[in-house]
Amino acid sequence: MDRTLTDFIRALRHSDVRVSTSETMDAFRAVRLVGYEEREQLKSALSMTLAKSEEEKARLGDVFDRFFRFDAFSDEPETDDDAAAGDNGEGDGQEFSPEDWDGESTELARMLLENDTEALALTLQEAAQDVNVANINFFIQRGIFTRRIMEQMGLAGLDAEIAGLSGQEGGAAQARMQALTQARERLFEQTRDFVERQIGLYASTTGRRLREDLLRNIKLTNVDLQDFRLMKELVHKMAKRLASLHSRRRKITRRGHLDVRRTLRANMPYDGVLIDPKWKVRRVERPSVYAICDVSGSVASVARFLLMFLYSLQDVLPRVRAFAFSNRLAEMTETLKNMPLEEAINKVLKEQGYGTTDYGQAFVDFKELAMEDIDHRSTVIILGDARSNFLNPRADILKEVYRRAKWVMLLNPEPRSFWDTGDSEMTALRAGCHQAEVCNTMSHLERVIDNILRMAT
Amino acid sequence: MSLIQTDVFSSIERITEEYGQAGYISSRSISMAVYLAHHLQKPILVEGPAGVGKTELAKTTAACLDLPLIRLQCYEGLDETKALYEWKYGKQLLYTQLLRDKLSDVLEGAQGLVASMEKLHSFSDIFFSKEFLEPRPLMQALEQKDGAVLLIDEVDKSDHEFEAFLLEILSDFQISIPEVGTIRADVKPLVFLTSNKAREMSEALMRRCIHLYIPYPDSKLERSILASRVPELSEDLRRQLVSFIQQLRELDLKKVPAVSEAIDWARTLVLLHSKTLSADLVRETLNILLKFQEDIEGVDAQIPGLTQRAMKEA
């Protein structure tokens, strides 16, 4: 039974429930306590030890129902009746019943003809385990696994028996052969169904993981619409990882640096005897982030993901102000706060996007809106291709931001070789930045944001 | 380390029964969680909306086992000196002052500074021993002779640092004090952590716990909870009341009434000697169920409809 449970946990991991080894061991101990007899009891024991949130519990329930499905042959009687009716219609007048047969017969043939559904289901499960159906990865492996399971169940013997019968004369042998051929057909269908269900359990996410890896490094401008949902989940996953990485460091005690004033005050009750020393503490400021996004044309899709990323990090980056511009710049912090992210971004893109870009005007607007608030704790991220349609990019304003802010970062989705070609003003703008980077994949974004969080300490 | 000695936890059915007698109507999954927690010796992390009886579960467990309930309320800024232990600085100081006179006796016969220091070293640790340790809730729970029920309430309100430091206690039931050494529990306490999901708990903490989610009860369970908590309430009124509250939970409210509010409301109706639910009665007592003025105003117009449905369903 241990094998069953490890297979179940495997299926669970495939549906994105994180199960660690220690949780697996807990599950084993829990199952040993409650046993496999009662379905609901087993389910709730597993759900308590393995799933650690409401959402995971729902997923576990789903996997549980699909995994512990032993009704593979339950619809057998109906088809059997049809088959029997068909047999009668053949007109050879002889009805077949298994008890009449006294010749040799394989175990599988016996089960099929006697319609021993329980034994069949059990043999199927065992065969499936023997051929390691849990290793199935892709849909195209369906055929080979179906075949292997049937072979494991004794297909060779069954085929031999059918072949032997076809050579024999006599009504009984013919009837038996027909019944067996039909039963074999049904067995094949049911095994295939079973294998397809296993694909649903084990395989769907292997392909998905491949796609996720691919999406991480695909150019954001090339992301297909159909991958958007997956992309969103990916952003959340990456953001969560970053958040847990950076959420701990908020206070750094500098042991060894005595805080004289606080020590004296704290020890006043003890007659001034210094027995409770106080150390200097440096509080780690959470950075306030200003994201200025060019939302014109090709940069828009990158901006979308940058914002998505920043707003998934609310836990560690509570102070994000977002600005969007193409020719004029507007603050969209409120819009993003009050609406679901997806809707808000679409709205901003509709209002602001797709005009002729004018960096100069955008910086003038930004100066008016936010320059006063920028101080030594602020990180400013500018996302854009620096193509200002030959208008003055007003690098002087950016210089001022540079002087005031802790860090100014220019992210350009274009590859480095395109910088400074045509109307690109990279050289002028770079002078007003601490850092200028190419940024057009998910991995780039992750690195950039990781850096921002790291600088906070 | 041994388990808490009790036969309350011999089976899941037994737990449900014992808790029922103590006035806590337990669903099957709750009993299962307690059963597993005891036998696997794991803490339970209880999540769910406010007022569904997360804290009450720990209290009832303590009452059923006849063990002390030690409660640690978490908040932002809680640290180990408030949760675990602290040195009794005052006592240390007082003792040094009192013992100053004895110093000459101790140092008697010592020649020069080096010899005096060596003599002193042999007494060095007396001021950092268990006598000068002020145990806080977590340490108290480990020190109980027959075990205890430890309730770490609203753990989601605490800081990340505190969560990290809980890990040692939750997995090994021990704490390390640099000056004294490691203190282990003789009898492992039964630990409940409650959370309202103000923030996500870390994976490391989740991994060490059994996870129990308590949702709002269905009408059948809620009726039996009310029957147990407010037995004075008539059967008819109870049905109407539960149906009304179940309908309220479907509405889009700022704060949905929980079980504790339902109990309060039932008590109020008993106090008012009400026989049956009516729109006016509901309107007068609605502030017991709903805690926000916007909610009350929003529901006000729907009261007759809701009351009628409740009467029909009951």
Give the nearest partner residue to B28 out of A23, A44, A53, using CB atoms: A44
DSSP A406-429: SEEEEEESS-GGGTTSTTB-HHHH
CA A393 – CA A237 distance, rounded (Å): 37
* 3-state secondary structure at position A104: coil
Cβ of A273 within 8 Å of Cβ of B93? The answer is yes
| pLDDT per position as a tens digit, B16-29 | 999 999 889 888 88
Closest CA relative to residue A298, chosen from A255, A245, A357, A344? A357
Q: Report pLDDT for A223.
A: 67
Q: Report pLDDT for A256.
A: 65
CB A18 within 8 A of CB B203: yes
Look up tokens 């959470």; give the residue. Answer: A286
Cβ of B161 within 8 Å of Cβ of A23? The answer is no
Give the nearest partner residue to B213 out of A45, A57, A275, using CB atoms: A57
Question: Per-residue pLDDT averaged across B57-84, rounded?
Answer: 89
The domain segmentation of chain B, as residue ranges, is 8-81+136-213, 85-132, 219-313
CB B156 within 8 A of CB B195: yes
Provide the token pair at A363: 């910086």
Contacts of A12 in chain B (CB under 8 A): none
Q: How confident is the model at residue B150 (pLDDT cuts 50, 70, 90)?
A: very high
Q: Report pLDDT for B15.
A: 92
* Beta strands in B60-142, from DSSP E residues, in sequence order: 69-73, 85-87, 133-135
Overall CATH class of domain B8-81+136-213: alpha beta
Q: How many CB atoms lie within 10 A of CB A56?
A: 21
CB B30 within 8 A of CB B44: no
Question: Mean pLDDT for chain A?
Answer: 78
Closest CA relative to residue A411, chosen from A389, A390, A441? A441
Q: Report pLDDT for B253.
A: 80
Cβ of A52 within 8 Å of Cβ of B206? The answer is yes
Of the residues A38, A41, A48, the best mutation for testing chain B's interface (the one with the most B CB atoms within 10 Å of its CB) is A48
Phi, psi values for residue A363, rounded to 5°: -70, -35
Question: Per-residue pLDDT averaged across B287-296, rounded?
Answer: 86
Cβ of A48 within 8 Å of Cβ of B211? The answer is yes
Question: Mean pLDDT for chain B?
Answer: 86
Question: Per-residue pLDDT averaged across A413-417, rounded?
Answer: 85
* 3-state secondary structure at position A353: coil
Q: Which helix (H) or strand (E) holds B149?
A: strand B149-153
| pLDDT per position as a tens digit, A148-163 | 888 888 888 888 888 8
Question: Per-residue pLDDT averaged across A5-16, rounded?
Answer: 84
Percent with pLDDT over 90 in chain B:
24
Cβ of A48 within 8 Å of Cβ of B32? The answer is yes
Provide the token pair at B39: 């036998």
Q: Specify the higher pLDDT residue, A246 or A327.
A: A327
Phi, psi values for residue B147, rounded to 5°: 90, 170
| pLDDT per position as a tens digit, A286-299 | 668 888 888 877 67
Provide the token pair at A3: 């094998």
Q: Above 70 in pLDDT, residue B142?
A: yes
Q: Report pLDDT for A127.
A: 86
Cβ of A248 within 8 Å of Cβ of B164? The answer is yes
Q: Above 50 in pLDDT, residue A353?
A: yes
Q: Above 60 in pLDDT, residue A93?
A: no
**Bridge pairing between strands A378-383 and A407-412:** parallel
Q: Specify the higher pLDDT residue, A121 or B220.
A: B220
pTM above 0.80, yes or no: no
Closest CA relative to residue B51, chosen from B227, B300, B225? B225
Phi, psi values for residue A38, rounded to 5°: -100, 120
Q: Specify the higher pLDDT residue, A229 or B205.
A: B205
Cα of B160 to nearest chain A Cα, Å: 6
Q: Above 70 in pLDDT, residue B312?
A: yes
CA B41 – CA A204 distance, rounded (Å): 36
Provide the token pair at B234: 């008539």
Q: Specify the higher pLDDT residue, A349 or B13.
A: B13
Contacts of A49 in chain B (CB under 8 A): 36, 40, 210-211
Chain-centre distance for alpha carbon A177? 50
Q: How many CB atoms lie within 10 A of CB B201?
A: 22
Provide the token pair at B202: 């870390």
Closest CA relative to residue B59, chosen from B213, B198, B245, B190? B190
Q: Report pLDDT for A85.
A: 39
Cβ of B32 within 8 Å of Cβ of A41? The answer is yes
CB A341 within 8 A of CB A313: no
Phi, psi values for residue A294, rounded to 5°: -75, 120
Closest CA relative to residue A10, chosen from A139, A104, A133? A133
Q: Report pLDDT for B196.
A: 84
Q: Specify the higher pLDDT residue, A209 or B54.
A: B54
Contacts of A52 in chain B (CB under 8 A): 45, 206-207, 209, 211
Q: How confident is the model at residue B197 (pLDDT cuts 50, 70, 90)?
A: confident
CA B306 – CA B247 distance, rounded (Å): 7
CA B13 – CA B32 distance, rounded (Å): 9
- DSSP type of residue B187: B
Report in angstroms the alpha-carbon separations of B179 from B124, B130, B169: 11, 10, 18
Provide the token pair at A141: 């492996």
Question: Per-residue pLDDT averaged across A15-36, rounded?
Answer: 87
CA B35 – CA B78 distance, rounded (Å): 31
DSSP A162-227: HHHHHT--SHHHHHHHHHHHHHHHHHHHHHHHHHHHHIIIIIHHHHHHHHHHHHHHSBGGG--GGG
Phi-psi region of B29 (alpha: psi -120 to 50; beta: other; left: phi over 0): alpha
Of the segments A20-34, A255-269, A322-336, which one has the largest average pLDDT value? Answer: A20-34
* 3-state secondary structure at position A263: helix
Q: How confident is the model at residue B118 (pLDDT cuts 50, 70, 90)?
A: confident
Provide the token pair at A365: 């607007």
Q: Of the given ranges (A204-213, A344-353, B268-277), which has the lowest mean pLDDT?
A: A204-213
Q: Report pLDDT for A344.
A: 79
Q: How confident is the model at residue A90 (pLDDT cuts 50, 70, 90)?
A: very low
Look up tokens 């005595």; give the residue. Answer: A258
CA-CA-CA-CA torsion sign (B65, B70, B76, B77): negative
Q: Above 80 in pLDDT, residue A267?
A: yes
Q: How confident is the model at residue B72 (pLDDT cuts 50, 70, 90)?
A: very high
Q: Above 80 in pLDDT, residue A215?
A: no
CA A12 – CA A175 distance, rounded (Å): 46
Contacts of B161 in chain A (CB under 8 A): 248, 251
